[in-house]
Structure 1
C-alpha cells in the first residue's frame, strides 16, 4: 500500500486517467466488434432474400428460402407461424420488433432470446408477395450462441490486455512519482536542517527542471545566510571595538579627573577628550539608528529647495579641520549656474559629509580632493567627489555599498556609511555610482533630479 503523500496522489492520478482511457477504448472496441459480427450475420441473412426469386406457390416458400444454420418461418401478416423448417411450433403470434418493420416494406431485424428455449438469436424478416396478390412474412432465425462465445472470448482477452497495461502503468507511475518525490523529500530534509540553524548542509544531486532550480535557490540562500552571518559577526566584532575605544577613553579620563590634583590645562585637555569621544559614540549610535530607520522605511525627509553649491560649501567647512590635519586641499567646481534640487538638505549634507570624509580618510597627505557639480541632462545634476586615494579593487567594488561590508576592518567604522548614503540617495529618486582603480583613486557620483522638473509635495515619510 502506498502511504499518503504526493506519491499516492501522482500514482492515483496517472492510474485513473489511464484506467478511464482504457475503459473507453474497451467499450468502443467491443461495441465495434459486436456490431461487426452482428451486421455480418444480418447481411448474410438478407442476401438470401436478395438472391432468391419469390416462388409462385406459397407451399414452396420454405424450400425456396432454406438456408444453412438458420431456421425459416413463414408467417401471415398477423404474425402467426404458418410454416416452419423445424419441428418446433409456436402457438402464439410472434410479436418481436422485426415484424412491424417488415410490414412497412423494409427488412426487419431483431435480436433477443428465443421464446421457450431462452437462446440468444437474431431474426431477419421480409414481406414476400405470391403472384403479386397474397403476402406472407418470411423470417430467418439463427442462433447467436457461437458468436456470443467468440465475443466473450474477445472481451476476456481485451480485458486481460487492459489489466496488464494498468499494471505496467502502475509500476511506471510509482517510479515516476518516486523520481519526483524523492528529490522533494531530500530538499525538505535539508530545509528542515536549515530551519534549525544548520546552514552548512547543502542539497546534493543534479535534479532537472524546476526541482533543480529549487535546490539551487535553497543552496544559494544558505550561502547568502552564511555570508550574512559572517558579515554580522564581523560587524559585531567591529562595532564592539569601535565602542570600546571611546568608552575606554571616557572612563579613563573620568576616573583621572575625579581623583583631582590637576591644573586647569590638564583638566581642559581631559574634558576635551571626553567630549570628543562622546561625539564619536553619538555618531556611531546615530549611524546605526539611521540604518535601522532606512531598513524599516521609517526615515522622514523634510523636503524643500536646496542649493547644491551652498550645501557643498557647508560640507567643506565641516570637514576642513580634518582635511587640514593631513594637509589635504578641497577643491569645489560649482558649475555655471545654481543647481536647485527638491530634497532634505540635512540628509543630503549627511550624504556628502560621508563621501568627503571617506575621501579624506583614504587619500595620502598633501593630496587634492575635487568636488564637481555638472548638468548631465536638462532635468538632472551630477555631484562628484574625486580623490587620488588608495582606490578599491574590482573584486570589492560591487560590495562596498553592502551593509556592514568593510574592505579593511582594521581601519575602523561600522561598514554602514555607504549603505546609508545609497539609501538616502534612493529616497531622493537619485542614483549613486562608484568608479575606482586600485592605487589610482576613487570617484563617487550622485545623480539627483533638478527642481525645475519636480513639484514640491511637503514632507515625505
Structure 2
C-alpha cells in the first residue's frame, strides 16, 4: 500500500488515465470485432439469396417447396426455411416441423422489401442464432427465404478474443503501475531531500546545501533554495558588518563628546579652548543625529511608514539649496560645484525635503570620493515630454563593475574603513521609487561616477511644454 502523499497522487492519476484510455480502446476493439464477424456472416447469408428463379418447376407444392430449399441450401451449418408472407414455415432444410408462425424482427423487414436481419435466442433450444430473411417470387407467388445459423462458435471466439484483450490490458496496467511508481519515486526522492535540507535551513543551518543535479522544475527549486541560503548568509554577514561599522561610527563621536565633556567639567581652560571643545561636542552631536536619522529613515521605508508631503517642486531651486548645504565641505577640498539647469524650469510632484535628502546624499558622496581641485557637474536634462533626468557627475575614484551591482543594497559598503552605515544609497533608491522615478549609476575605476535620477514631470509641465 502506497502511503498518502504525492507518490500516491502521481500513481493514482497515471493509473486512472491509462485505465480509462485502455478501457475505451478495448471496448472499441471488441465492438469492432463483434461487428466484423456478425457482418461477415450476414453478408455471406445475404449473398446466397441471389439465386435465379427461372428454373423452379411448376409442380405440386411439396415438390416445389423442396426444390426451392435445395436451390438455397448452404450446408449443414445453415438451416434454410421457406415461409409464406404470414410467417408460416412451409418447408425447411432440416425437416423440423414448426407449428407456430415466426414473428421475429427479420420477417417485417423482408416483407417491406429489404433484407431482414435478426439476432437472438432460438425458440426451444435457447441457442444464439442469426436469421437473415429475404422475399422471393417463384412463378408469380411471393415467399420468404430465411437462413438461420448458430452464433455459438463465433461467440466463443469473441469470448477468447475478449479474454486475450483483458489479459493484455491487465499487463499494460501492471507495467503502467510499475513505471508510475518509478516516476513518482524519481520526483519524491529529490523532494524529500529538499524538504530535509529546508528543515535544516529553517532551524538556522544556512550552510546546508541541496546536492545533486535534478532536472526541470525540481532542479530550479533546489538551485533557488541554495541561492536563498547563500543570500541569507551574505545578508547576515552584511548585517554583522553593519553592526560592527555602526558601533564604531557611534563610538567615535560619543568618545569625543565624553572626552571633551569631562575635560570642560574639570575647568581651567581659556575661552578659546572652551569654545573649541563645545564646537567639537556640537559637531559630533550632529553626526550622531545624522546616523540615528538615517537608521530611522531606513526603518520607516522598510515598514512603508515614511510620510511624504507632496507638492510642486522646482528642481533647480532644490539643487541650488543642496549646493549651498555642501558648499563648505566642497570648499575644504577646493572642489567646484557646477549646476547646468537647462533652458527652462522643471517642475515635479514630489516631497521637496525628501528630494533634497536624495541630492544631498549623492553630492556628499561625490565630494567624499572626488580628488581635490576637481569639478562636480549637476545637470538637468529633458529625457522626454513626460520625464526629466538629474545627473550628478564626478571625477572621483569610481566603482568597480563587481561592486556597482551591489552598491544600492542595504548595509553594503565598497570600503567599510571610510565610515558610514551603508544605508545612504539604499534609502536614496527607495525615496526615488516612492516618487515613481528610477536611479541609475554609471561608473569606471579612476575615471569617476555618474548618478542619474529620472523623475516624471507634472501634467501641468507637460501641457506648458506642448503649448
TM-score range (shorter-chain normalised) is 0.7 to 0.9
Q: Which residue of 2 aligns with 1:393?
A: 400
Residue 414 of structure 1, CA deviation: 0.3
1:332 maps to which residue? 338
Alignment of 1:256-267 (within 5 A): 256-258=263-265, 264-267=271-274
Find the aligned partners of 1:447 and 1:246 in 2 and give their Cα distance. 36
Report the counterpart of residue 185 of structure 2 in structure 1: 178
1:35 corresponds in structure 2 to 35
CA contact under 8 A between 1:52 and 1:65: conserved in structure 2? no
2:374 corresponds to 1:372: no
- Is 2:133 the counterpart of 1:125? yes
SS at match of 1:405: coil
- Contact between 1:55 and 1:64, CA under 8 Å: does it hold in 2? no
1:55-134 to structure 2, matched below 5 A, reads 55-57=57-59, 58-59=61-62, 60=66, 61-68=68-75, 69-86=77-94, 88-133=96-141
C-alpha distance after superposition, 1:173-202 (max 9, x if no partner): 222333333333333333333333332223
Of stretches 62-71 and 231-240 in structure 1, the one that deviates more from structure 2 is 62-71
Within 5 Å, give how 1:239-258 maps onto structure 2: 239-258=246-265
Please, what TM-score do these two structures have when normalized by structure 1? 0.86
Unaligned segments of structure 2, at least 5 residues? none
Alignment check: 8 A CA contact 1:102 1:137 kept: yes
- Residue 156 of structure 1 is matched in structure 2 by 163
Alignment match, 1:353: 360
What CA deviation, in whole Å up to 9, does each residue of 1:221-272 have, x standing for no partner? 2222222222112111111111122223333444444555655555444433
User: How many Å separate the matches in 1 of 2:158 and 2:342?
Assistant: 101
Distance 1:444 1:34 in 2: 83
Q: 1:362 aligns to what?
A: 369
| Number of residue equivalences | 453
Q: Secondary structure at the match of 1:149?
A: helix
Alpha carbons 2:342, 2:381 under 8 Å: kept: no
Whole-Å separation in 2 of the counterparts to 1:304 and 1:67: 107
Q: What SS does the aligned partner of 1:112 have?
A: strand
Deviation at 1:112, TM superposition (A): 1.5
Cα distance in structure 2, aligned partners of 1:327 and 1:84: 130
Task: After TM superposition, list the pairs within 5 Å mapping 1:267-278 onto structure 2.
Answer: 267-278=274-285
TM-score, length-normalised on structure 2?
0.85
For 1:50, what is the secondary structure of its paired residue? coil
CA contact (8 A) 2:51 2:72 kept: no
Q: Contact (CA 8 Å) 2:346, 2:461: kept in 1 or not?
A: no
CA distance in 1, matches of 2:41, 2:18: 34
Change (3 A) 1:162 1:362: same
Q: Work out whether residues 412 and 423 of structure 2, in 8 Å CA contact, stay in contact via their aligned partners in 1.
A: yes
The answer (yes or no) to whether the contact 2:346–2:388 under 8 Å persists in 1 is no
81-90 vs 19-28, greater mean Cα deviation:
81-90
